[in-house]
Chains A and B, each alone.
Chain A
Amino acid sequence: MARSAQATDSMVLPAKTNGSRGEPTVIVDGLHVVYRVYGAGGDRGTASTALFRILGRKTRPAIREVHAIKGMSFVAYRGDAVGIIGRNGSGKSTLLRAIAGLLPPEHGTVYTICDASLLGVNAALMEDLTGERNVVLGCLAMGMTKAEIKKKYAEIVDFSGVGEFINLPMKTYSSGMGSRLRFAIAAAKDYEILLIDEALATGDAEFRVKSHARIDELRKKAGTVFLVAHDLEEVEDTCNRVIWLDRGKIVEQGEDVIGIIDTYIEASGGEKVTRDPVTRKRISAPEPDA
């Protein structure tokens, strides 16, 4: 559980070396994930079609299978920050959930060194309750003890900046306030393997800066980070490797983050990125899917 200093260093200065990679933390081995959707069948879903279905002895045609991930293999190591890019519906969020062990694989296995945590507590919160109760509930859902919550409570409320609104039900919050509090709760815990889905850092400009700083901090503390993002510049800035997904398959992956991102932008029909020839920093940065 000890976080090595080496992990922290390679996070600050992404290791571009091809040398010995050290300890693997996440191994994805021939992974397939299938969702089953009920009530999405071909018929109109009326009682008469259901009756005909029963009479015709067709078994459960209302189940549609969605093959979200079709055979992926890769290894991530301690100190890696892996960016996952791809269009909507390419399987990015599903991959994160499979790594976290929240979705069972259809075939293949995901191996992790310890529990991988998704930075997403939203689902545990209840809009009818006050912010205060939601802070406690969210922290409990993330597995914190009551003592830990007591210690972190003030910090979370401060960070969210919702002020005295903390005593009002969350449904009375503006959308910005709500997402600030949700982020503050989610980011209150430290993680070993951290999975970040996009659209966490929301809110006004000031809060964006704050939340990016917090994500950076989490990333430095964690052993391995997976980041799903449409904001490609963020991936460039923070990841030392990248996986490009399309329709549930890996198109390309590797440590040439900028090269892969440029190819991805081109393939998505975006304008070619102009880069400084020395630093490879963007000069103008058009974004696909923005």
Chain B
Amino acid sequence: MRSTKAASPGQVLGGATATATGEGSESGAVQPDGSLAALAAQYGLRPSAQRPSIGIYLRELARRWSFIMGFATARNVAMYTEAKLGQLWQILAPLLNAGVYFLIFGLIITGVSRGVPDYLAFLVTGVFVFSFTQRTFISTSKVITDSLPLIRALQFPRASLPLAYVMIELQQLALSMVVLFSLIPITGEPVTWDWLLVLPALALLTIFNAGLALFAARTGARINDFAQLLPFLMRTWLYVSGVIYSVQVFVAQHSQNHAWVTTLLQLNPAAIFITLVRNALLANQRASAFGAKAPNAANCAAWAGTPRPAGVSPAAWGKALTQVKKDLPQHHPLSQYGSAYCHASFVSSHLWLFAVGWALVALLLGFWYFWRKEVNYGRG
């Protein structure tokens, strides 16, 4: 089985130079060969595994948009074909998810719900919005390894794959939102025009997640251990993002002593997007948002349970303290809405600016980072 006839290894088929003209000279081009490159240049041939420029890449990606959407829908449909309840799980899964969190943090460990009016709606909104980011990040960290057969069979912009996974999760989120919209009015929440703000908030979150997905896809493709580590990172992120407790309460309690920690907590993109959606959907959240009322240090401190701030007269402090103890059910009892009086570093109108910033930065950096290694994803 040895190669019997060891033809010169560099012999050129149909000879760019020699064999074609029959002159029989074995030019013996063994390694990358100037003459072949020159021939390629002469006839305008291009390296097949060459990274396209960003402009061409984007155009190609746009052309493949229907593939991205088709792939996402197909994956979503295929996900529950084995289950008896079938597509009903698309609704049941987020419902059960929210139910588990409510059981534990709403009924058993009640400490975290302190200072949060209408905790059930608060919690479910947070869980749904955060799980969009969480699931996108975790699934896209494996997208290149999982799709290796596809990558090795067909030529298409590889960014289609992580983006398709974002679309899969977006479709899941849309169903979660249907659940949420029908759940929230049951808790007594009024349906208002503010609900429309959910749309820009989630659009920005989707852009942000697309950036994360591109980052996770390349990192997961290069470093296999990344996918193992990610669930732990994501759980840490969940706990610092105010999904199950109120970041506002934490910030108000600790901003005097740990200013930079509370600033970071508020700049956390997940917390920003969650707060934006909550503010859009929940009247209680809007009313208690930082800066919703004229700043009043006494009211804020009394609500947060911190010592009397400097510059607050004992009389005003005493009044605030008594007010906070009255658990009045009607308009804006201080015990529940005191955060509205806090003069925090960031108020709700700042959040939109930060959300736009995070979305753009994540998408641009993520795209650039992914595109740099475009031709290498087939290597595995």
Instruction: Name A residues whose Cβ lies closer than 8 Å to a Cβ of B.
Output: 18-21, 23-27, 29-30, 35-36, 38, 71, 73-77, 80, 82, 87, 97-105, 107-113, 115-118, 120-124, 126, 128-129, 133, 136-137, 140-143, 145-146, 169, 241, 243, 246, 249-255, 263, 266-269
B31 near A241: Cβ-Cβ < 8 Å: no
**A266 contacts which chain B residues (CB < 8 A)?**
4
Interface flag for B372 (CB, 8 Å):
no
Given contacts A98-B49, A116-B48, contact A111 B40 (CB under 8 A): yes
Q: Mark B76-91, 1 if CB is under 8 A from A, else 0.
A: 0110011000000000
**B75 contacts which chain A residues (CB < 8 A)?**
126
A267 near B1: Cβ-Cβ < 8 Å: yes
Pairs A–B under 8 Å by Cβ, sample size 25:
A27-B36, A27-B40, A29-B37, A29-B40, A30-B31, A35-B380, A38-B224, A71-B10, A71-B31, A73-B29, A74-B12, A75-B13, A75-B36, A82-B13, A99-B48, A109-B37, A113-B46, A118-B153, A140-B66, A141-B67, A141-B154, A145-B66, A254-B13, A266-B4, A268-B1
Task: Give complex CA distance A105, B375 in Å.
Answer: 9
Interface size range of chain B in the complex: 35 or more
Q: Which 7 A-B pairs have the closest CB atoms?
A: A101-B48, A74-B13, A30-B32, A111-B45, A111-B40, A123-B149, A128-B78
Task: Give complex CA distance A253, B66 in Å.
Answer: 42
Task: Give complex CA distance A120, B153 in Å.
Answer: 6
B11 near A250: Cβ-Cβ < 8 Å: yes
**B376 contacts which chain A residues (CB < 8 A)?**
104
Interface flag for B6 (CB, 8 Å):
yes
Task: Give complex CA distance A135, B153 in Å.
Answer: 16
Interface flag for B152 (CB, 8 Å):
yes
Interface segment, one of B14-22, B99-107, B116-124:
B14-22
**A126 contacts which chain B residues (CB < 8 A)?**
74-75, 78
Nearest residue (CB) in A for B376 is: A104
Nearest residue (CB) in A for B74 is: A137
**A117 contacts which chain B residues (CB < 8 A)?**
154-155
Given contacts A107-B32, A137-B71, A146-B66, contact A36 B379 (CB under 8 A): yes
Partner of A75, one of B9, B14, B224: B14
Task: Give complex CA distance A268, B14 in Å.
Answer: 25
Q: Determine how close the nearest CB of chain B comes to the CB of A184; give it in whole angstroms.
A: 16
Task: Give complex CA distance A36, B221 in Å.
Answer: 12
Interface flag for B39 (CB, 8 Å):
yes
**B64 contacts which chain A residues (CB < 8 A)?**
140, 143
Task: Give complex CA distance A102, B378 in Å.
Answer: 6
Partner of A18, one of B22, B32, B149, B152: B22
Partner of A29, one of B21, B32, B375: B32
Q: Determine how close the nearest CB of chain A comes to the CB of B160; give it in whole angstroms.
A: 9
Q: Determine how close the nearest CB of chain B comes to the CB of A25; give it in whole angstroms.
A: 7
B47 near A109: Cβ-Cβ < 8 Å: yes
